[in-house]
Amino acid sequence: MAEFTMELNDEQKEVRDWLHGFAADVIRPAAAEWDEREETPWPVIQEAAKVGIYSLDFYAQQYFDPTGLGIPMAMEELFWGDAGIALSIVGTGLAAVGVLANGTEEQIGTWIPQMYGDATDVKVAAFCSSEPDAGSDVASMRTRAVYDEAKDEWVINGTKTWATNGGIANVHVVVASVDPELGSKGHASFIVPPNTPGCSQGQKFKKHGIRASHTAEVILDNVRVPGSCLLGGKAKLDERLARAREKARKGGERVKNAAMATFEASRPAVGAMAVGTARAAYEVALDYAKTREQFGRPIIDNQGVAFQLADMATSVDAARLMVWRASWMAINGKPFTAAEGSMSKLFASETAKKVTGQAIQILGGNGYTREYPVERMHRDAAIYTIFEGTSEIQRLVIARTISGLPIR
Protein backbone atom coordinates (compact mmCIF):
# COMPACT_ATOMS: atom_id res chain seq x y z
CA MET A 1 0.00 0.00 0.00
CA ALA A 2 1.38 3.39 -1.00
CA GLU A 3 1.69 5.92 1.81
CA PHE A 4 -0.38 9.05 1.47
CA THR A 5 1.68 11.99 0.30
CA MET A 6 1.00 15.39 -1.22
CA GLU A 7 4.32 15.33 -3.08
CA LEU A 8 4.14 14.11 -6.66
CA ASN A 9 7.03 11.94 -7.79
CA ASP A 10 9.16 12.85 -10.81
CA GLU A 11 7.12 10.73 -13.23
CA GLN A 12 3.85 12.26 -12.04
CA LYS A 13 5.28 15.77 -12.35
CA GLU A 14 6.33 15.00 -15.91
CA VAL A 15 2.84 13.78 -16.79
CA ARG A 16 1.26 16.79 -15.06
CA ASP A 17 3.43 19.23 -17.01
CA TRP A 18 2.70 17.39 -20.27
CA LEU A 19 -1.05 17.57 -19.64
CA HIS A 20 -0.82 21.20 -18.63
CA GLY A 21 0.97 21.99 -21.88
CA PHE A 22 -1.73 20.23 -23.91
CA ALA A 23 -4.46 22.05 -21.98
CA ALA A 24 -2.75 25.42 -22.50
CA ASP A 25 -1.74 24.97 -26.15
CA VAL A 26 -4.60 22.88 -27.59
CA ILE A 27 -7.67 22.97 -25.33
CA ARG A 28 -7.78 26.61 -24.21
CA PRO A 29 -7.41 28.17 -27.67
CA ALA A 30 -10.36 26.07 -28.88
CA ALA A 31 -12.58 26.52 -25.82
CA ALA A 32 -14.65 29.55 -26.82
CA GLU A 33 -15.30 28.25 -30.35
CA TRP A 34 -16.64 24.86 -29.29
CA ASP A 35 -18.65 26.38 -26.46
CA GLU A 36 -20.41 28.56 -29.03
CA ARG A 37 -20.85 25.72 -31.51
CA GLU A 38 -22.24 23.34 -28.84
CA GLU A 39 -20.78 20.39 -30.73
CA THR A 40 -18.43 17.54 -29.88
CA PRO A 41 -14.88 18.83 -30.56
CA TRP A 42 -13.77 15.83 -32.61
CA PRO A 43 -10.58 17.55 -33.87
CA VAL A 44 -9.42 18.20 -30.29
CA ILE A 45 -10.25 14.63 -29.22
CA GLN A 46 -8.26 13.42 -32.22
CA GLU A 47 -5.29 15.56 -31.19
CA ALA A 48 -5.55 14.10 -27.69
CA ALA A 49 -5.57 10.61 -29.23
CA LYS A 50 -2.52 11.38 -31.39
CA VAL A 51 -0.40 12.37 -28.40
CA GLY A 52 -1.71 9.48 -26.28
CA ILE A 53 -3.97 11.33 -23.83
CA TYR A 54 -7.20 9.92 -25.26
CA SER A 55 -6.33 6.24 -25.04
CA LEU A 56 -6.91 3.14 -22.97
CA ASP A 57 -3.22 2.93 -22.10
CA PHE A 58 -3.06 6.44 -20.67
CA TYR A 59 -6.31 6.02 -18.74
CA ALA A 60 -5.17 2.67 -17.33
CA GLN A 61 -1.79 4.08 -16.26
CA GLN A 62 -3.46 6.86 -14.32
CA TYR A 63 -6.28 4.67 -12.98
CA PHE A 64 -3.86 2.10 -11.55
CA ASP A 65 -1.35 4.61 -10.17
CA PRO A 66 -0.66 3.10 -6.71
CA THR A 67 -0.74 6.54 -5.08
CA GLY A 68 -4.26 7.16 -6.41
CA LEU A 69 -3.21 10.61 -7.65
CA GLY A 70 -2.95 9.84 -11.37
CA ILE A 71 -6.61 10.39 -12.25
CA PRO A 72 -7.25 13.49 -10.10
CA MET A 73 -4.03 15.09 -11.32
CA ALA A 74 -4.98 14.44 -14.95
CA MET A 75 -8.56 15.66 -14.47
CA GLU A 76 -7.46 18.87 -12.80
CA GLU A 77 -5.08 19.81 -15.60
CA LEU A 78 -7.46 19.00 -18.45
CA PHE A 79 -10.40 20.80 -16.83
CA TRP A 80 -8.11 23.74 -16.07
CA GLY A 81 -7.97 24.02 -19.86
CA ASP A 82 -11.75 23.93 -20.42
CA ALA A 83 -14.49 21.87 -18.83
CA GLY A 84 -16.60 21.25 -21.93
CA ILE A 85 -13.75 20.04 -24.12
CA ALA A 86 -12.16 18.13 -21.24
CA LEU A 87 -15.42 16.29 -20.57
CA SER A 88 -15.53 15.30 -24.24
CA ILE A 89 -12.04 13.85 -23.80
CA VAL A 90 -12.65 12.05 -20.49
CA GLY A 91 -16.39 11.28 -20.76
CA THR A 92 -15.64 7.83 -22.12
CA GLY A 93 -13.89 7.14 -18.83
CA LEU A 94 -17.17 6.88 -16.91
CA ALA A 95 -18.31 4.05 -19.15
CA ALA A 96 -14.89 2.46 -18.77
CA VAL A 97 -15.17 2.70 -14.98
CA GLY A 98 -18.58 1.05 -15.24
CA VAL A 99 -16.96 -1.93 -16.95
CA LEU A 100 -13.95 -1.97 -14.63
CA ALA A 101 -16.20 -1.86 -11.55
CA ASN A 102 -18.64 -4.56 -12.65
CA GLY A 103 -17.16 -6.55 -15.55
CA THR A 104 -15.09 -9.70 -15.89
CA GLU A 105 -11.50 -9.62 -17.14
CA GLU A 106 -12.68 -10.85 -20.52
CA GLN A 107 -15.31 -8.11 -20.75
CA ILE A 108 -12.78 -5.47 -19.74
CA GLY A 109 -10.35 -6.65 -22.40
CA THR A 110 -13.04 -6.89 -25.07
CA TRP A 111 -15.04 -3.71 -24.64
CA ILE A 112 -12.84 -0.96 -23.22
CA PRO A 113 -10.55 -0.83 -26.27
CA GLN A 114 -13.64 -0.44 -28.48
CA MET A 115 -14.70 2.55 -26.40
CA TYR A 116 -11.65 4.55 -27.49
CA GLY A 117 -10.82 3.37 -30.98
CA ASP A 118 -7.42 4.68 -32.08
CA ALA A 119 -5.76 7.88 -33.26
CA THR A 120 -6.94 7.36 -36.85
CA ASP A 121 -10.50 6.35 -35.95
CA VAL A 122 -11.52 7.91 -32.63
CA LYS A 123 -14.54 6.44 -30.82
CA VAL A 124 -16.39 7.45 -27.64
CA ALA A 125 -18.49 5.56 -25.10
CA ALA A 126 -21.50 6.44 -22.93
CA PHE A 127 -22.62 5.42 -19.44
CA CYS A 128 -26.43 5.42 -19.28
CA SER A 129 -28.04 5.41 -15.86
CA SER A 130 -30.29 8.45 -15.34
CA GLU A 131 -33.86 8.43 -16.62
CA PRO A 132 -36.57 11.09 -17.03
CA ASP A 133 -38.17 9.90 -13.75
CA ALA A 134 -35.11 8.40 -12.08
CA GLY A 135 -32.13 10.67 -11.53
CA SER A 136 -31.15 10.80 -7.88
CA ASP A 137 -33.93 8.30 -7.15
CA VAL A 138 -32.27 5.32 -8.83
CA ALA A 139 -34.77 2.92 -7.24
CA SER A 140 -37.42 4.35 -9.61
CA MET A 141 -35.56 3.16 -12.71
CA ARG A 142 -37.99 1.90 -15.35
CA THR A 143 -35.61 0.56 -17.98
CA ARG A 144 -36.08 -3.21 -17.95
CA ALA A 145 -33.81 -6.03 -19.01
CA VAL A 146 -35.49 -9.41 -19.43
CA TYR A 147 -33.53 -12.59 -20.02
CA ASP A 148 -34.49 -14.71 -23.04
CA GLU A 149 -33.12 -18.05 -21.93
CA ALA A 150 -33.82 -19.81 -25.23
CA LYS A 151 -31.56 -17.42 -27.13
CA ASP A 152 -29.23 -16.48 -24.24
CA GLU A 153 -30.05 -12.83 -24.87
CA TRP A 154 -31.16 -9.88 -22.76
CA VAL A 155 -33.97 -7.71 -24.10
CA ILE A 156 -33.73 -4.10 -22.93
CA ASN A 157 -36.46 -1.48 -23.12
CA GLY A 158 -36.48 2.06 -21.73
CA THR A 159 -35.25 5.62 -22.10
CA LYS A 160 -32.05 7.02 -20.62
CA THR A 161 -31.34 10.71 -20.26
CA TRP A 162 -28.44 13.05 -19.49
CA ALA A 163 -26.06 10.57 -21.10
CA THR A 164 -22.66 12.04 -21.97
CA ASN A 165 -21.93 10.86 -25.53
CA GLY A 166 -25.39 9.27 -25.61
CA GLY A 167 -26.36 8.17 -29.11
CA ILE A 168 -23.00 9.04 -30.69
CA ALA A 169 -21.12 6.43 -28.66
CA ASN A 170 -19.58 3.33 -30.17
CA VAL A 171 -20.34 1.42 -26.96
CA HIS A 172 -23.11 2.17 -24.47
CA VAL A 173 -23.05 0.86 -20.91
CA VAL A 174 -26.67 0.69 -19.75
CA VAL A 175 -27.95 0.18 -16.22
CA ALA A 176 -31.33 -1.58 -16.18
CA SER A 177 -33.66 -3.25 -13.72
CA VAL A 178 -33.75 -7.04 -13.86
CA ASP A 179 -35.90 -7.43 -10.74
CA PRO A 180 -38.13 -4.37 -10.09
CA GLU A 181 -39.33 -5.75 -6.73
CA LEU A 182 -35.80 -5.30 -5.34
CA GLY A 183 -35.62 -1.63 -6.31
CA SER A 184 -32.04 -0.42 -6.78
CA LYS A 185 -30.76 -3.81 -5.58
CA GLY A 186 -32.29 -5.40 -8.67
CA HIS A 187 -30.19 -3.42 -11.15
CA ALA A 188 -27.51 -4.74 -13.49
CA SER A 189 -25.21 -3.20 -16.11
CA PHE A 190 -25.11 -4.23 -19.76
CA ILE A 191 -22.90 -3.56 -22.74
CA VAL A 192 -24.80 -2.43 -25.82
CA PRO A 193 -22.39 -3.12 -28.70
CA PRO A 194 -21.92 -0.81 -31.71
CA ASN A 195 -24.80 -0.61 -34.21
CA THR A 196 -27.17 -2.68 -32.08
CA PRO A 197 -30.71 -2.46 -33.55
CA GLY A 198 -33.15 -0.55 -31.35
CA CYS A 199 -30.52 1.68 -29.68
CA SER A 200 -30.82 5.27 -30.90
CA GLN A 201 -30.29 8.86 -29.86
CA GLY A 202 -33.25 10.83 -28.60
CA GLN A 203 -33.24 14.51 -27.69
CA LYS A 204 -29.88 16.28 -27.65
CA PHE A 205 -29.81 18.83 -24.84
CA LYS A 206 -28.79 22.46 -25.27
CA LYS A 207 -27.08 23.25 -22.00
CA HIS A 208 -26.14 26.18 -19.77
CA GLY A 209 -22.51 25.04 -19.56
CA ILE A 210 -20.08 22.30 -20.68
CA ARG A 211 -21.59 22.92 -24.10
CA ALA A 212 -18.76 21.25 -26.03
CA SER A 213 -19.77 17.95 -24.41
CA HIS A 214 -22.57 16.01 -26.11
CA THR A 215 -25.48 15.19 -23.77
CA ALA A 216 -28.55 13.36 -25.01
CA GLU A 217 -31.29 10.82 -24.42
CA VAL A 218 -30.73 7.21 -25.41
CA ILE A 219 -33.76 5.23 -26.60
CA LEU A 220 -33.73 1.46 -26.06
CA ASP A 221 -36.48 -0.23 -28.06
CA ASN A 222 -36.38 -4.02 -27.80
CA VAL A 223 -32.61 -3.93 -27.78
CA ARG A 224 -31.23 -7.47 -27.78
CA VAL A 225 -27.72 -8.11 -26.50
CA PRO A 226 -25.95 -11.46 -26.02
CA GLY A 227 -25.85 -12.97 -22.54
CA SER A 228 -22.12 -12.24 -22.50
CA CYS A 229 -22.94 -8.52 -22.45
CA LEU A 230 -24.24 -8.69 -18.86
CA LEU A 231 -21.37 -7.20 -16.87
CA GLY A 232 -20.07 -9.68 -14.34
CA GLY A 233 -21.97 -12.61 -15.86
CA LYS A 234 -25.28 -14.25 -15.03
CA ALA A 235 -23.99 -16.54 -12.28
CA LYS A 236 -22.71 -13.56 -10.33
CA LEU A 237 -25.97 -11.67 -10.93
CA ASP A 238 -28.12 -14.60 -9.79
CA GLU A 239 -26.04 -14.95 -6.64
CA ARG A 240 -26.31 -11.23 -5.89
CA LEU A 241 -30.07 -11.18 -6.48
CA ALA A 242 -30.59 -14.22 -4.26
CA ARG A 243 -28.61 -12.54 -1.50
CA ALA A 244 -30.60 -9.32 -1.95
CA ARG A 245 -33.92 -11.19 -1.78
CA GLU A 246 -32.83 -12.95 1.40
CA LYS A 247 -31.70 -9.73 3.03
CA ALA A 248 -34.91 -8.01 1.97
CA ARG A 249 -36.90 -10.84 3.52
CA LYS A 250 -34.97 -10.47 6.76
CA GLY A 251 -34.83 -6.69 6.60
CA GLY A 252 -31.03 -6.86 6.46
CA GLU A 253 -28.29 -4.57 5.21
CA ARG A 254 -28.37 -2.83 1.88
CA VAL A 255 -26.73 -4.34 -1.20
CA LYS A 256 -24.74 -2.07 -3.45
CA ASN A 257 -26.17 -1.69 -6.96
CA ALA A 258 -24.31 -1.45 -10.26
CA ALA A 259 -24.78 2.28 -10.86
CA MET A 260 -23.70 3.20 -7.34
CA ALA A 261 -20.51 1.16 -7.69
CA THR A 262 -19.62 3.26 -10.72
CA PHE A 263 -20.49 6.59 -9.09
CA GLU A 264 -18.59 5.80 -5.89
CA ALA A 265 -15.48 5.08 -7.94
CA SER A 266 -15.82 8.29 -9.97
CA ARG A 267 -16.84 10.89 -7.37
CA PRO A 268 -13.30 11.98 -6.41
CA ALA A 269 -12.52 12.28 -10.13
CA VAL A 270 -15.48 14.64 -10.55
CA GLY A 271 -14.17 16.59 -7.58
CA ALA A 272 -10.84 16.91 -9.40
CA MET A 273 -12.64 18.29 -12.46
CA ALA A 274 -14.20 20.94 -10.25
CA VAL A 275 -10.80 21.77 -8.74
CA GLY A 276 -9.41 22.34 -12.23
CA THR A 277 -12.20 24.75 -13.17
CA ALA A 278 -11.98 26.59 -9.84
CA ARG A 279 -8.21 26.91 -10.10
CA ALA A 280 -8.48 28.26 -13.65
CA ALA A 281 -10.94 30.96 -12.59
CA TYR A 282 -8.85 31.86 -9.56
CA GLU A 283 -5.73 32.28 -11.69
CA VAL A 284 -7.53 34.52 -14.19
CA ALA A 285 -8.87 36.66 -11.34
CA LEU A 286 -5.47 36.89 -9.65
CA ASP A 287 -3.72 37.98 -12.86
CA TYR A 288 -6.47 40.49 -13.57
CA ALA A 289 -6.34 41.95 -10.06
CA LYS A 290 -2.58 42.48 -10.35
CA THR A 291 -2.83 44.41 -13.63
CA ARG A 292 -6.21 46.16 -13.48
CA GLU A 293 -5.84 49.66 -12.02
CA GLN A 294 -8.50 51.77 -10.38
CA PHE A 295 -7.90 55.01 -8.49
CA GLY A 296 -4.25 54.89 -9.48
CA ARG A 297 -3.33 51.45 -8.13
CA PRO A 298 -3.89 47.74 -8.90
CA ILE A 299 -7.20 46.53 -7.50
CA ILE A 300 -5.43 43.77 -5.56
CA ASP A 301 -4.15 46.53 -3.27
CA ASN A 302 -7.68 46.74 -1.91
CA GLN A 303 -8.46 44.38 0.94
CA GLY A 304 -11.91 43.70 -0.49
CA VAL A 305 -10.29 42.11 -3.52
CA ALA A 306 -7.20 40.66 -1.86
CA PHE A 307 -9.20 38.89 0.86
CA GLN A 308 -11.52 37.37 -1.75
CA LEU A 309 -8.50 35.99 -3.59
CA ALA A 310 -7.09 34.64 -0.33
CA ASP A 311 -10.36 32.80 0.32
CA MET A 312 -10.42 31.49 -3.26
CA ALA A 313 -6.86 30.14 -3.02
CA THR A 314 -7.62 28.50 0.33
CA SER A 315 -10.79 26.85 -0.93
CA VAL A 316 -9.15 25.48 -4.07
CA ASP A 317 -6.27 24.05 -2.04
CA ALA A 318 -8.61 22.49 0.52
CA ALA A 319 -10.73 20.93 -2.23
CA ARG A 320 -7.65 19.40 -3.83
CA LEU A 321 -6.56 17.95 -0.48
CA MET A 322 -9.94 16.27 0.01
CA VAL A 323 -9.97 14.89 -3.54
CA TRP A 324 -6.46 13.49 -3.24
CA ARG A 325 -7.23 11.90 0.12
CA ALA A 326 -10.34 10.17 -1.24
CA SER A 327 -8.48 9.05 -4.35
CA TRP A 328 -5.65 7.58 -2.28
CA MET A 329 -8.16 5.79 -0.04
CA ALA A 330 -10.00 4.32 -3.03
CA ILE A 331 -6.93 2.90 -4.78
CA ASN A 332 -5.65 1.41 -1.53
CA GLY A 333 -8.94 -0.25 -0.65
CA LYS A 334 -9.65 1.88 2.39
CA PRO A 335 -13.42 2.15 2.97
CA PHE A 336 -15.06 5.55 2.98
CA THR A 337 -16.13 5.22 6.61
CA ALA A 338 -16.99 8.91 6.79
CA ALA A 339 -18.16 9.15 3.16
CA GLU A 340 -14.86 10.74 2.17
CA GLY A 341 -15.61 10.23 -1.54
CA SER A 342 -18.86 12.15 -1.29
CA MET A 343 -17.20 14.77 0.90
CA SER A 344 -14.57 15.42 -1.75
CA LYS A 345 -17.11 15.73 -4.53
CA LEU A 346 -19.42 17.95 -2.46
CA PHE A 347 -16.74 20.38 -1.28
CA ALA A 348 -14.95 20.63 -4.62
CA SER A 349 -18.21 21.15 -6.52
CA GLU A 350 -19.44 23.88 -4.22
CA THR A 351 -15.99 25.47 -4.31
CA ALA A 352 -16.03 25.60 -8.12
CA LYS A 353 -19.40 27.37 -8.17
CA LYS A 354 -18.32 29.87 -5.52
CA VAL A 355 -14.84 30.60 -6.85
CA THR A 356 -15.96 31.09 -10.45
CA GLY A 357 -18.63 33.49 -9.21
CA GLN A 358 -16.04 35.39 -7.18
CA ALA A 359 -13.84 35.60 -10.27
CA ILE A 360 -16.64 37.30 -12.20
CA GLN A 361 -17.09 39.75 -9.34
CA ILE A 362 -13.39 40.64 -9.31
CA LEU A 363 -13.38 41.21 -13.07
CA GLY A 364 -16.56 43.28 -12.77
CA GLY A 365 -18.29 44.09 -16.05
CA ASN A 366 -15.47 42.43 -17.99
CA GLY A 367 -16.10 39.19 -16.13
CA TYR A 368 -19.70 39.19 -17.29
CA THR A 369 -18.72 39.29 -20.96
CA ARG A 370 -17.47 36.54 -23.24
CA GLU A 371 -14.30 38.52 -23.83
CA TYR A 372 -12.99 36.85 -20.70
CA PRO A 373 -13.26 33.13 -19.88
CA VAL A 374 -14.60 33.37 -16.33
CA GLU A 375 -18.26 33.66 -17.39
CA ARG A 376 -17.87 30.39 -19.29
CA MET A 377 -16.11 28.81 -16.32
CA HIS A 378 -18.97 29.90 -14.08
CA ARG A 379 -21.53 28.35 -16.43
CA ASP A 380 -19.47 25.17 -16.60
CA ALA A 381 -19.07 24.96 -12.81
CA ALA A 382 -22.82 24.71 -12.26
CA ILE A 383 -22.84 21.10 -13.46
CA TYR A 384 -20.53 19.80 -10.75
CA THR A 385 -23.17 20.19 -8.06
CA ILE A 386 -25.67 18.29 -10.23
CA PHE A 387 -24.22 15.37 -12.16
CA GLU A 388 -23.04 12.07 -10.68
CA GLY A 389 -24.96 12.84 -7.52
CA THR A 390 -26.26 16.30 -6.64
CA SER A 391 -24.83 18.18 -3.67
CA GLU A 392 -28.00 17.29 -1.80
CA ILE A 393 -27.44 13.59 -2.47
CA GLN A 394 -23.81 13.89 -1.33
CA ARG A 395 -25.01 15.48 1.93
CA LEU A 396 -27.52 12.66 2.34
CA VAL A 397 -24.80 10.04 1.84
CA ILE A 398 -22.53 11.82 4.32
CA ALA A 399 -25.31 12.25 6.89
CA ARG A 400 -26.31 8.59 6.67
CA THR A 401 -22.69 7.47 6.94
CA ILE A 402 -21.74 9.55 9.95
CA SER A 403 -25.02 8.93 11.80
CA GLY A 404 -25.70 5.33 10.85
CA LEU A 405 -29.35 6.31 10.44
CA PRO A 406 -31.60 5.97 7.36
CA ILE A 407 -32.05 9.73 6.97
CA ARG A 408 -34.48 10.74 4.22
Q: What residues act catalytically?
A: 388
DSSP classification of residue 230:
B
- How far does CA 315 lie from the centroid of its chain? 21
d(CA 299, CA 348): 27
Closest listed residue to residue 184, CA positions, set 262, 245, 258, 100: 258
Greatest C-alpha distance within the chain: 82
What sign does the CA torsion over 305, 210, 176, 98 have? Answer: negative
Write out the DSSP string of 322-379: HHHHHHHHHHTT---TT-HHHHHHHHHHHHHHHHHHHHHHHHGGGGGSTTSTHHHHHH
How far is CA 190 from each of CA 169, 238, 242, 261, rounded to the nearest angstrom? 14, 15, 19, 14
d(CA 75, CA 88): 12
Q: Are residues 178 and 142 in contact, defined by beta-carbon separation less than 8 angstroms? A: no
Write out the DSSP string of 90-137: HTHHHHHHHHHHH--HHHHHHHHHHHHEETTEE--EEEE--BTTBSS-
Phi and psi at 175, nearest 5°, equal -95, 130
